Amino acid sequence: MRAARGPKRPDYMGNPDLDRFMMMFSALMSEVSALRERLDTHELLAVAGKVATPEAIEEFAISPADMARRSALRDAYLKRIFRVVFEDLERAERGPDGSIAGPEETPTRDSA
Amino acid sequence: MTQTRHAVLPEQTHDEASREAFCGSMRKLFTEQLWPGVRDVYEAQARAAFERRTGHAPANVREVRESLEPSFFYRTANLIGRSAQELLWDTVGESIERQIDDLNARAADIHDAKGSMRLDPDLAVPRYMDMVDIHVMPGNFHTELGEGDVFAAALYDRGVHHFAYGGMGPENEFLGIAMSNWLKANFPDFAPKRILDMGAGPGFSTLPWKRLYPNAEVFGVDISAPMVRYAHARAESLGVAVHYSQQDAAHTDFADESFDLVTSCLLTHENPVPQIRAMFAESHRLLRAGGMMFIDGAHPPAANHEDEFFTTWFNYNANEPFAVGLRKLDLEEAFVTAGFPAENYFTSGAREAVYLKGMAGHKTRSSASAGYRGTIKA
């Protein structure tokens, strides 16, 4: 059961296919993140002098410090991926001087 | 933060834990940076651009939205928020699907219960619950996938944990603790002997009441059989005696004047106004004289159309269609209409949204809550 009932998905990018591609892209981001953390577990097991068998990976108990480190890595990973999104925000936050993109320069629905 | 283990909490493989944590990180990005950033873009650019174009500042919610539509940041921020919401349920759902038989078996395997459970297979699901899956959670709170099923509740327990990226507490209990503590601090002489939690779900808010008033008999009702099964197994596993039953909170089978406290936590905003009024009337019937109705579930007040826009993201992007109706409902009037004396109305006043306190980042400007509301039966 993976489809929610109710109103249809709102229109975000002016093209529902583009919205659905973001959904796929999100799942792919999640998969890369999971892969990165599995690699991290390999490294932590190696540091402890253990072999990273599938069983050792499943039994691995992460420390609170490593958990926090991974959380920070995920935050940084997301910021890197969405750099062009935050670029827009940074321009807006710079305040009303010449460096701000006016509404004319803001990408519109048509150009997106 | 990790969740407190209990008998029906879903297991995670190494990779499931990573995927679920990623959903939490994406939710955090949206909550703490993207959505607050939309307000920055609005104030720094969009409002003025709209005014230049039309000759007036955005005058209503629709025009605030219109002013932001040209912004790539706004559109992408929203889409990322929606993607995180969908990915969360899908990720947790996949993990629960593979272990659902085991979870159902564990939910049924209860011995020497301190509390109890009653199911009602003939209970009709109201139409408003079957029309829309709240939070875009597939199946909503009540869908039953088979005999002895707990899927919806397991999905919600794990899902809420990641939705709030741990900020709801190890048992998703922080809201329940906060509201029960507020009541005890403000009514120190009130010692309820029988407490009813309406729309109890997996029991996030029910257990804190029993822990705070250990001598009270605590009851929880929910319309969803999967929630009631799961809540019962969870409470027993955590060693807290609660009596759960599958009932519509607006029409229960409890006797008149059989409770000292009738409460609910984040229930009202997921219900249409006629259902809310019916629950208030039922609360009045169930309370003895001097008994208290006490809710956490008012929508934050919006000072103007801009605040209204910036505090209603979930209404328009994550299937919370009823919250707008609640915002327009005058709770003080609704309590009086349900039979409570006007002079007995009380409120904590606006407060910070408790669940954000546990979160690592800064508070967002949309984190205000309307606070608790309550009243006392004459």
Shortest CB distance from B18 goes to which of A9, A37, A78?
A37
Does B237 reach chain A within 8 Å, measured CB to CB? Answer: no
- pTM comes to 0.93
Residues 275-334 (B) with a CB less than 8 A from some CB of A: 316-317, 319, 321
Reduce the DSSP state of residue B332 to 3 states and report it: helix
Nearest CA in chain B to A91: B41
Does B73 reach chain A within 8 Å, measured CB to CB? Answer: yes
- The per-residue pLDDT for B311 is 86
Burial zone of A77 (CB within 10 Å; 0-12 exposed, 13-18 middle, 19+ buried)? middle
Find chain B residues with C-beta within 8 A of A82's C-beta. Answer: 29, 76, 80
Residue B347 and residue B326 in contact, taking contact as beta carbons nearer than 8 Å? no
Checking if the pLDDT of A108 tops 50, the result is: no
In 3D, which of B26, B17, B139 has the Cα closest to residue B82? B26
Find chain B residues with C-beta within 8 A of A13's C-beta. Answer: 75-76, 79
What is the pLDDT tens value at each position of chain B, 378 positions in all? 789 999 999 999 999 999 999 999 999 999 999 999 999 999 999 999 999 999 999 999 999 999 999 999 999 999 999 999 999 999 999 999 999 999 999 999 999 999 999 999 999 999 999 999 999 999 999 999 999 999 999 999 999 999 999 989 999 999 999 999 999 999 999 999 999 999 999 999 999 999 999 999 999 999 999 999 999 999 999 999 999 999 999 999 999 999 999 999 999 999 999 999 999 999 999 999 999 999 998 776 678 999 889 988 999 999 999 988 888 899 999 999 999 999 999 998 876 655 544 333 334 444 556 789 999 999
Residue B16 and residue B160 in contact, taking contact as beta carbons nearer than 8 Å? no
- The per-residue pLDDT for A102 is 47
Does B15 reach chain A within 8 Å, measured CB to CB? Answer: yes
- The per-residue pLDDT for A97 is 54
- The per-residue pLDDT for B301 is 66
Does B80 reach chain A within 8 Å, measured CB to CB? Answer: yes
For residue B264, give the H/E element and its range. Answer: strand B259-265
The chain-wide mean pLDDT, for chain A, equals: 88
CB contact under 8 A, B18 and A34: yes
- The per-residue pLDDT for B361 is 36
Nearest CA in chain B to A108: B70
Mutation choice for B interface testing from A9, A11, A25, A26 by most B CBs within 10 A: A26
In 3D, which of B135, B157, B155 has the Cα closest to residue B145? B155
- The per-residue pLDDT for A73 is 98
Nearest CA in chain B to A101: B45
pLDDT category at A92 given cuts 50, 70, 90 is: confident
SS (H, E, C) chain A: CCCCCCCCCCCCCCCHHHHHHHHHHHHHHHHHHHHHHHHHHHHHHHHCCCCCCHHHHHHCCCCHHHHHHHHHHHHHHHHHHCHHHHHHHHHHHCCCCCCCCCCCCCCCCCCC
CB contact under 8 A, B25 and A107: no
pLDDT category at A88 given cuts 50, 70, 90 is: confident
Q: Which two tokens stand for residue B85?
A: 């919401």
- The per-residue pLDDT for B349 is 80
Mutation choice for B interface testing from A8, A9, A12, A25 by most B CBs within 10 A: A12
Separation between Cα atoms, residue B125 and residue B287, nearest integer Å? 25
Instruction: Output DSSP code: residue B272.
Output: -
Instruction: Output DSSP code: residue B117.
Output: E
Find chain B residues with C-beta within 8 A of A28's C-beta. Answer: none
Find chain A residues with C-beta within 8 A of B93's C-beta. Answer: 1-2
